């Protein structure tokens, strides 16, 4: 399936690499994808890997009707917009810079209103990500589908109705992989402390998390129902879950997610002052 959409990436880092690779696999033509990357080595690597046109600078490079994806770090976004040469209203713009509000992005782009904010996560690097999306009212349905086609090439997508909730998206799914990696670390370490060989315990932990996530994704039952099914009365799982309750782990976990959300809002507020 060929997808008739021209896309220019500003920034050629890991996430742009993942998106380009996923888009090519999902039916985009290499001739329709371009990237701007200031680092020469990264630019050559991207060009050779995907056979797409790669440029050293964006000014004067944006074509009419081309979707522009800003794939730079948040602290680089303001400078990237200044040197983009993007004319207000000329293109649909998608930003994957964490914490950068569309109010800031619009201001830096001279009042541009066709903006979509996206929060992908690192499993996108293997095509298994999930992205929260928010669009300004100036973005029409066809343009939303364009944004979905781009981010959907590396995983699932979810539309958010209130941009303020993007900080919650960041806390849950953006930072979420780190929580899962931490849990795998702790599960593996616990197994090792109980006498299992390190590599054996690590494999047990990783495969358990992987299989459980796949089961939750494919089952019609809720995670709580699946949990209850594993928990026999008076059994080993119940003993562990009771210990979790005694330590109030659910409440502590909620506090941690709230801390991540609040930090995201704080960082976004700092950028809004620029």
Per-residue pLDDT tens digits for 52-70? 999 998 888 888 889 999 9
CATH number, domain of 250, equals 1.10.3730.10
What is d(CA 11, CA 38) in angstroms, rounded to the nearest whole number? 8
What is d(CA 83, CA 67) in angstroms, rounded to the nearest whole number? 17
Phi, psi of 28 (to 5 degrees): -70, 145
**DSSP reduced 3-state for 13:** coil
pLDDT for 163 beyond 90: yes
pTM value? 0.90
Same-domain check for residues 184 and 138:
no
Which residues form the domain of 229? 176-268
pLDDT in tens, 80-113: 998 888 887 778 999 999 889 999 999 999 999 9
Q: Which of 133, 151, 169 is the last residue of a domain?
A: 169
Same-domain check for residues 137 and 192:
no
């Amino acid at each position: 399936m060929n997808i008739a959409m021209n896309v220019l990436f500003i920034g050629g880092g890991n996430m742009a690499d993942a998106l380009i690779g996923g888009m090519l696999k999902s039916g985009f033509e290499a001739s329709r994808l371009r990237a701007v990357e200031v680092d020469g080595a990264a630019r050559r690597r991207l060009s050779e890997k995907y056979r797409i046109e790669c440029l050293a600078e964006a000014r004067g490079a944006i074509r009419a009707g081309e979707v522009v994806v800003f794939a730079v770090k948040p602290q680089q976004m303001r400078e990237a917009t200044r040197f983009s040469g993007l004319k207000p209203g000329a293109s649909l713009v998608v930003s994957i810079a964490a914490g950068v509000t569309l109010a800031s992005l619009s201001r830096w782009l001279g009042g541009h209103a066709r903006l979509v904010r996206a929060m992908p996560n690192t499993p996108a690097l293997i095509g298994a990500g999930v992205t929260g999306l928010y669009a300004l009212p100036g973005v029409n349905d066809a343009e939303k589908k364009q944004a979905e086609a781009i981010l959907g090439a590396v995983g699932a997508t979810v539309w958010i109705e209130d941009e303020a909730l993007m900080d919650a998206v960041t806390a849950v799914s953006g930072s979420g992989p780190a929580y899962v990696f931490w849990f795998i670390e702790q599960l593996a370490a616990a197994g090792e402390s109980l006498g299992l060989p390190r590599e054996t315990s690590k494999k047990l932990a990783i495969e358990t998390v992987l299989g459980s996530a796949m089961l939750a994704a494919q089952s019609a039952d809720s995670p709580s129902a699946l949990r209850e099914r594993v928990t026999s009365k008076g059994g080993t799982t119940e003993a562990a879950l009771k210990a979790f309750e005694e330590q109030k782990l659910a409440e502590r976990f909620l506090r941690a997610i709230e801390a991540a959300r609040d930090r995201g809002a704080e960082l976004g507020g700092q950028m809004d002052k620029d």
